[in-house]
Structure 1
Amino acid sequence: MAHDTAHDTARATRGGGRGTDERSVGSLFAEVTSDVQTLVRQEAELAKTEVKEEMGRAGKAAGMMGGAGFAGWMVVLFLSFAGLFALGNVMDLGWAGLIVAGVWAVIGATLYLLGRGSLRRFSPKPTKTMESLKEDAAWVRHPTA
């Protein structure tokens, strides 16, 4: 009888072992799937947060630049009138106006070129998120590396 009990126990262990292994693989697969879904959600949330932060900073900077631009425009306007009338004391007022306008044309072209170069360097891409996604993809391809 002891022999039969040991034999039954061994047979049950072998049969039950396979079922346990299959459930274990299934539960591991479900866990990995859940982890990947969580990771994707977290990466999407990180991207949204990063883009919002960058756009918020850009919006505030644009508002400040607009205010500074208006104040600067007023200063430039009155300095231009002062320069126009100062040159008008030495030459005809028409020629003085052309000289002042020419100076402002050169300044405007220079500022345009500088601004265009600055905008070309601006990148709204969420670089931190993209780097994190690359790391995640590398880990998924080689989880033990």
Structure 2
Amino acid sequence: MTSAVPGPVPTHQNPQQDKSAPELVQDITRLVPQLARQEIELAKAELTEKAKHAGIGAGAFGGAGLVALFGTGVLIAAAVLGLAEAMPAWAAALIVAAVLLVVAGVMALIGRKQFQQATPPVPTQAVDSTKHDVEAVKESTHR
């Protein structure tokens, strides 16, 4: 039985180990801007791809809204035609129009109220809180 004697283990020296400190600093000053440019290019490519998907999504939502608008018009016409079976067509159209105008009026009032609550577009609570914090810091420094 022969025993295998391990031979010398090959060493792989890292070329960076042979460089002096000034050479390493020079490499860093060369490589860091290059890495930053590559990261910026990657970010640009990623944002371009996401913007493309967002544009397609917005177009699909817009198309869906348009088709829903047409569908609503057809439903309104169906309501008029359905009521026209029980009364003259002009009266059916007048009733449906009146209902739609009442719904629009209620929605406008709700929208107006919500809009008034949103204005002014300044985060007043955060501003007040910040002013309070500044006053508290001023008082604590005067003590």
The answer to whether the 8 Å contact 1:80/1:100 transfers is yes
User: Which TM-score applies when normalising by structure 1?
Assistant: 0.50
The answer to whether the 8 Å contact 2:80/2:96 transfers is yes
Distance in 2 (CA, whole Å) between partners of 1:68 and 1:44 is 36
Distance in 1 (CA, whole Å) between partners of 2:31 and 2:75 is 65
Q: Within 5 A, what are the aligned runs for 1:1-145?
A: 20-84=20-84, 86-88=86-88, 97-109=93-105
> Whose helix proportion is higher, 1 or 2?
1
Distance change in 2, residues 1:61/1:88 (3 Å):
same
Higher relative contact order, chain-length normalized (CA < 8 Å, sep 6+): 1
Task: Spell out structure 1 runs of 4+ moving beyond 4 A.
Answer: 109-114
Distance change in 2, residues 1:109/1:46 (3 Å):
farther
User: Which TM-score applies when normalising by structure 2?
Assistant: 0.50
Count of matched residue positions in the alignment of Structure 1 and Structure 2: 93
Over aligned residue pairs, what C-alpha RMSD do you find?
A: 3.2
Structure 1: runs of 5 or more not aligned: 1-18, 118-145
Structure 2: runs of 5 or more not aligned: 1-18, 115-143
Structure 2 SS opposite 1:86 = coil
Distance in 1 (CA, whole Å) between partners of 2:36 and 2:94 is 67
